[in-house]
Every structure is written in C-alpha cells, then in structure tokens.
Structure 1
Amino acid sequence: MSQTTGGTQERSDRLHEGLSQFPREVFQFDPRICSGWLSDRYFVRTANTLRHAGRDPVVTMQVFAKRRGVLAGVYEAVRLLQTQLTPGSDYRALEIDTLLEGETINAGGEDDWEPVMHVTGPYAGFAHLETPLLGVLARRSLVASNTRTVVEAANGKPIIFMAPRHDDWRVQTPDGYAAQVGGAESVSSDAAGAWWGARGVGTMPHAMIAAFNGDTVAATLAFARYLKAEEPDVRVMSLVDYDNNAVETSLAVARAVRAELGDGVLTGVRVDTSERLIDQSLIGDPAVWGRAKLTGVNAHLVRKMRAALDAEGFQSVGIVVSGGFTPDKIRTFEKEGVPVVAYGVGSSLLGHSRGDNGLLTDFDFTADLVRVDGHAEGKVGRQFRENPRLVRVDWDRV
C-alpha cells in the first residue's frame, strides 16, 4: 500500500479544496443517470427488488482496482453520488471515504487491491450508481496513469496531450482533465481543458499547409499574422515536416518570420515525420546512413535541425517533437540529451497501445458490498479492508 502523503488534516483540506473547485455543475451529468438508464440493469432490478420486499439496508460499498496506477475521477465520483441518488434520497445520509485525486494506488503491487473508496449509506438510494461510478474512475485513471508514465519519462519537459482526435468527442473534456491529473501541461482542444480552465494549444496542422498549396513558409507567415492581429498571446510555432525536409524547412520558416516580423517571434518548430519515412536531410549522410534507424522523428534529425538553426542565430527557436513517442523513446531522448523542448503524445495515453512501455490498455475498478447493517457481509474473498489513507467527505464543506 502506498505511503500516506501529508497529515490527516492536510489531506482533508486538499480533498475539500479540490471539491470546491469542481462543483456539481462542472460535470453536466445526464439527468437520466438517477433513473438507472445508464446503469447495468441488474442494479436497477436490485433496488426495485429491495423496495418490493420492503428492505433498505445500510451497506458499505468498497471500491478497488487490481493494478498499480494513478487514481483520477474522485471529484466527479463524489459529485455523482451527491446528485444522482434515487429521487427522494438524501445525500447527507451517505458517508464517503476516499483517496485523493492524483494519488498512486496499489504501490505495493498488483495484488495489493487497495480500497480507493468506501461508500456507506442506504443502498436503495445508490445501488444504480455502481456502473457509472466505476466507469468514471476507470476511464479517468487509465488516462491519468498513462500520462503520468509519459510525464515521468520526459524528465520535467512539457507533455502536450494530443489525444482528442483518437476517440469519441464526448470524452474530450474528461480525458483532458485526467491528463492534467497525470501531469500534462497543455491540451490540444478547448474542450479537453474545459474542467481546469485551459485553452487548447496548437501549432498548425498539415491541413493548413496544404491549404496554402503546400507552402510551409506562406502558411507560417499567414498564421503569424493572424496570431499577431487576433490572438497576440499565442506563441508562433511552425510545423516543418510537410516536405519531408525538416532542416531546410525550419531554416526557411525561421528566415522568413525574422525578415518580416523580427527576431523572437518564431518560438518553435514541430516535427512529426511519419515513422515510414526518412527525412531528406538524413538520406546519404555519411555520419549516420546505414548505421542507425532513421525513420520517423529520431535523435539524428533533431540534432541536425538544432545545429542548423543555431548556426543562423535561431537559438531561441525550440524544437517540439510528436508522432509515435512512447515512454521508452522519450527516456532514450532524455538520456541522450536530444535537444527538444516538449513532446506531443496522443492515442497511447487513451490505452490505444500494445500495453508495452509501461502504458496501460485498461484500468478496471471493482465494487463489492462488504458490510450490511453494521455486520460483515460479502462474497468469499471480498471483505472490508481498512485504509488509513482514506479521507471522509464532509458535506458541510462541499
């Protein structure tokens, strides 16, 4: 089990300060949740059966995961329990003890099964919420855990969450929030940053260059003029792999921006070379040709870009890399001191990977009833487990 971070009062303050930043309105819950429409039907029938039998036991539901990772979705889960009970139920009758948002769970190993939450109260009021509650924790913790792995590999350099295009638009906002819990510094869409007050960042897509007839310089200058006129607080960064000649394109863009708008306006270039291509600057280069893997964005290409930019006085132009960056590849770049200023990472953070590099493809949570009307009750192998790290939600503070 992970070590407790901070004293009891400090942890309680952190929980309630976080909840104060995420009121119920933030999550825009579907009003059909409280009717059980989004729940596994057997939970709805369980509640109906109890009502029909005239029973409403006070139970403790214990929630845990079977793997190590970063817990996310706590605030959303608490607000779900607060607002989506069966009509007529009082949320103040619930006692919720929970770990904190962003904490590592099961640090002792995947057999730890550390409880992340205990919910105690009249079961008929929240039986139907097991399905959406577990789903919230599962999705948020998957994205947060994968993001944390990438952030740690990056050794302090910013990670840009570029995953919105890789999944249903409905999950952009919670996914972006979970990435922030995991340590991402920015996101690529406004929706992904909505819960934590961030706007989407972005350089320019290949589509913008195509719309300027494949002329990266023309597209970058037009982009810079637009930003100067309408979004002056946004930094100018160009995408430089459209012609598969990142070194020459970087120089051409930097020269043109400096000539028209002055030094320091171009803050960076991003390279996103396909993993099936070798950049033209490396083809036939006697220093590396035939001696190294040269497809995609690689250390040799980035170093060549850096040297070319520095030689012409563009030291302030940073290099951002994206496209196929796994934790292992990022660690290698960092170990070798490859001169990049940030990494853009996308679909792998959502679990779209082979499950290697320490990235997860799933993160499931399980819930069990472990106490009924004050006595131990649960399926064999699932019993109530104390966890001194859990913090009680004080309804008067939220």
Structure 2
Amino acid sequence: MFDIVPSEAIREGRATDAYFDRTVDALEGADRNPRVVAEVTADQFPDGDFELLAGVKDAAHLLAGLPIDADALPEGTLFDGGPVMRVEGRYLDFARYETALLGFLSHASGIATAALEARRAAPDSRLLSFGARHVHPSMAAVVERSALVAGFDGFSHVVAGELLGREASGTMPHALVICFGPGEQERAWEAFDEAAPPGTPRIALCDTYTDETDEALRAARAIDLDGVRLDTTSSRRGDFRHIAREVRWRLDQAGFEDVEIFLSGGLDPDALADLRDVASGFGVGGYVSNADPVDFALDISEVEGEPWGKRGKLPGKKEVYRTPDGGHLVRRADEPAPEDGEALLAPLVRDGEVVREFDLDDAAARAKREAALVNFGEET
C-alpha cells in the first residue's frame, strides 16, 4: 500500500543496488570469494570537521547472523576521519548488505550531527524534536532516536515513542484552536486541559488569532498553565526575541512568573543561541530532520591479508584513537598505538552475533562528553 521497503527485504539483503547482485553473480561464476577487510569512512584523514555517529544499532542488527566480524565506534562518538566501522569476512557473505548498511549509518549520523549542533547552541534549554512531519513516516523513529543520541530531551512522534520505549511529548496544534473559531481560544485551551492526561504539561499555543501577549495572558487566566508556546508564522514574526521578552514581561507583571515560554517554528542553532535566555525550551523541526546524510562509503582495504584499495583511498586495516586533548588519530593497524590514545573501534559483531548493548542514555552522555572535549559547535 505504501512505498516502504519491508524489513524482511532489508534483512535478506534484497534492499541493495543492482550492481551488487551483478557482482555476486560475477564472483560466484569466477569461483572467487576472498577474505577481506572493508571499512566505512567519510573522510580518509582527520580534518577537524566533526560529525556524530548514530545508526549503529540498526547496522549491527543488519549484520547479525552473517558469518562475519564487525567493529565500530560506540554510538554517540564524534569523528572527523578514518573508519567508523570495520567488517571482516568473505566478501560474498556481506556484499549485498552494503547499500542498507551505509543508509543506516549515513542518514542517522547526519540527523544526529544537526541535533548536536542545536543541543550545543542551547545547552541548558529543553529541546524537543518536532521534525517527524518533514520525513517519510518510515523514518520517524530514526529521526527521534538520532535526536536523543545528540542529547534532545524528547520528541513528538507517537509510534517512534513506542519503538524506542519513550513517551512522546506534545501539547496542541493551531488546528485545535481554529476548530473553536476566533474569540473562542479559551474554549480550546479548556478542552485541552480537560482531555490531557494527568502529568501532561499544560502548555497553551498562544499566537493563533491575536497578539501573542494577549493570548498568553488569556490562557494563563483560563487554565492552570505550565507554559505558553509561541509558533508565530515567520511572515508575522518580526523580532521573535522581542516578542518573547514582551510576553515574559506581561506574564510577570500579571503575576504569572511560573508560566514558562517555549518557542518553535523554523529554528536553527543561530536562532537557538539568540533566544536561549528568553525561553525555557524549543521545538526544533526541519533543521534536524532535514539534515544532509553523512557521505559514508564502504571500501575494501585489505584482501587475504594484503593492503589493497582503490585510488584515493588508504589501503590497509586501520585503527582510530581519541587523545586526551580531543584529537582523533588514524593509524595503520600494524602501527603502535599512541601512548595516550584510547582505541575507539570496539567489537560489534562476532561470527554473526551482536556483542554490544545499545543504551540511548549512554550514547547521549558520550556525545555530550565528546562535544565538550573537541569543542564541537564552538563557532555558534
């Protein structure tokens, strides 16, 4: 019914590019199936342009059951060159899985990197992922999980929450207010208050029909309010910072000092950095969900123990290390490890068995530590 590649097709290696089918046929016909080392990289040498690794859980489960070994950086690791994953085995045992493997890592890492930029721009604010509406529905859980890896506090998508074991967050859309009509905003806020489960923050959308300050005060008087959300259309927004400050002034003046302000609508890291002192939190949508995927490639770097590779790529099996000052080092596997370096590639799959746990909180904590270590997003 929908244009969605089924999970079983991915798991069976059928979600692949046609030339891998041709390659398998050619190698089988030539009776050639060498043991290889293949590495997933975006950049060969470190360049200081760090990105955040995500999608490792899906990649691991894609490779599960295949007679291969795989190592990978932990999810939530920042990298700027060298391999993020290494696969070792007979080439025909994983050849058809390259397309899906790169897709799992590329898209999730791009989203996570953009989310980390937002997180670093507003480090003390509550951030919610609102971008599921900008992507194909089959991608929603990938968007929300990647945002959590980057340190977001929550997300909006219901089924993604069911898959991730987290409860989706949300208040009300403009549609709810519009269904009651102009001048009837109080009825909309009261209906929301009556219908929302206990424990759901009472955050009213306050920019539908009249001035934001007017609707914020009316909402605060209508229900026991936790906060107001301003999602003013960009064509009517003007100075969003001034609007938020004015709303804060008017709420405080009327005795509603405890009512918080949340902002949403086309926000990027620059906007978050500018607004973080006038709002308690933000809904961030397209900047995160619409992020460009990381341009990963999977390249054979070793064949039957010999360092082989295509022109422009570095042949030979490699290791990557993090140094105490935040350096990201790439070395040949047969070179000595740096004395102060922490090896980043760690077992992921052994003979087809996934040997790693995937804890979202651990990944988010790692991303936060590493972002501080490498000064990620300092230009913001």
Corresponding position of 1:102: 76
Relative contact order higher in (CA < 8 Å, ≥ 6 apart): 2
1:270 aligns with 229
**Counterpart residue number, 1:379:** 310
Is residue 320 from structure 1 mapped to residue 266 from structure 2 by the alignment? Answer: no
2:354 and 2:190 mapped to 1: Cα distance?
Answer: 55
- Normalising by structure 1, we get a TM-score of 0.76
Match for residue 345 of structure 2?
Answer: 390
Instruction: Classify 1:133/1:183 alpha carbon distance in 2 versus 1 (closer, same or farther; 3 Å).
Output: same
Shift of 1:29: 6.6
Aligned match of 2:244: 302
Q: C-alpha offsets along residues 42-94 of structure 1, whole Å, 9 cap, x if unaligned?
A: 112212222222222111111011363100011111110114xxxxxxx3x31
C-alpha distance in 2 between matches for 1:345 and 1:389: 31
Counterpart residue type for residue 319 of structure 2: E
Match of 2:194 in 1: 225
Q: CA RMSD in A?
A: 1.8
Map of 1:343 onto structure 2: 282
The amino acid across from 1:75 in the alignment is K
Tell me the distance in 1 between the aligned counterparts of 2:24 and 2:145. Answer: 32
Q: How far apart, in 1, do the equivalents of 2:104 and 2:120 lie?
A: 24
What amino acid is the match of 1:378? Answer: G
User: Alignment partner of 2:88: what SS?
Assistant: strand
Match of 2:363 in 1: none
Please say which of residues 33-42 and 161-170 is displaced more in the overlay: 33-42
Q: Is the 8 A contact 1:173 1:194 kept in 2?
A: no
Q: 2:156 aligns with which of 174, 178, 188?
A: 188
User: Structure 1, residues 134-188: CA drift from partner, whole Å, max 9, x if none?
Assistant: 0111110011000000011012211110001111111111111111111111111
The aligned residue for residue 87 of structure 1 is: none
What is the rounded CA distance, in whole Å, between the counterparts of 1:100 and 1:157 in structure 2? Answer: 26
SS in 2 for 1:386: strand
Question: Partner amino acid for 1:143?
Answer: I
Give the secondary-structure state (helix, strand or coil) at the position aligned to 1:266: coil
Q: 1:40 pairs with 17, 20, 31, which one?
A: 17
Give the 5 Å matches for 1:175-214.
Answer: 175-214=143-182
Judge conservation of contact 1:65–1:365 (CA < 8 Å) in 2. yes
Among 223, 228, 236, the alignment partner of 2:202 is 236
SS of the residue corresponding to residue 31 of structure 1 reads: helix
What residue is the counterpart of 1:69 in the other structure? 51
SS state at 1:55 partner:
coil
DSSP-derived class of the 1:96 partner: strand
Separation (CA, whole Å) in 1 of partners of 2:232 and 2:194: 26
Picking from 206, 211, 214, the partner of 1:248 is 214
Mapped contact 1:209–1:219 kept (Cα < 8 A)? yes
Give the unaligned 5+ runs of structure 2. 44-48, 321-342, 357-380
Shift of 1:397: 4.0
Does the aligned pair in 2 maintain the 1:146–1:349 contact within 8 Å? yes
Within 1, Cα distance between the matches of 2:234 and 2:250?
22
Distance 1:306 1:186 in 2: 24
Partner residue, 1:164: 132
- Structure 1 segments, 4+ long, off by >6 Å, are none
User: Take 1:363 and 1:51, find their aligned partners in 2: how far apart are those partners?
Assistant: 32
Instruction: Note if 1:364 corresponds to 2:341.
Output: no
Secondary structure class of the residue paired with 1:180:
helix
- Contact 1:58/1:123 (<8 A) preserved: yes
- After superposition, where does 1:60-139 map in structure 2 within 5 Å? 60-66=37-43, 68-83=50-65, 91=66, 93-106=67-80, 113-139=81-107
Question: 2:323: which partner in 1?
Answer: none
Q: Structure 2 counterpart of 1:61, which letter? A: A
Deviation at 1:365, TM superposition (A): 0.5
2:27 match: secondary structure: helix
Relative to structure 1, is the Cα distance of residues 125 and 396 closer, same or farther in structure 2, using a 3 angstrom cutoff? closer
Equivalents in 1 of 2:61, 2:302: separation in Å? 23
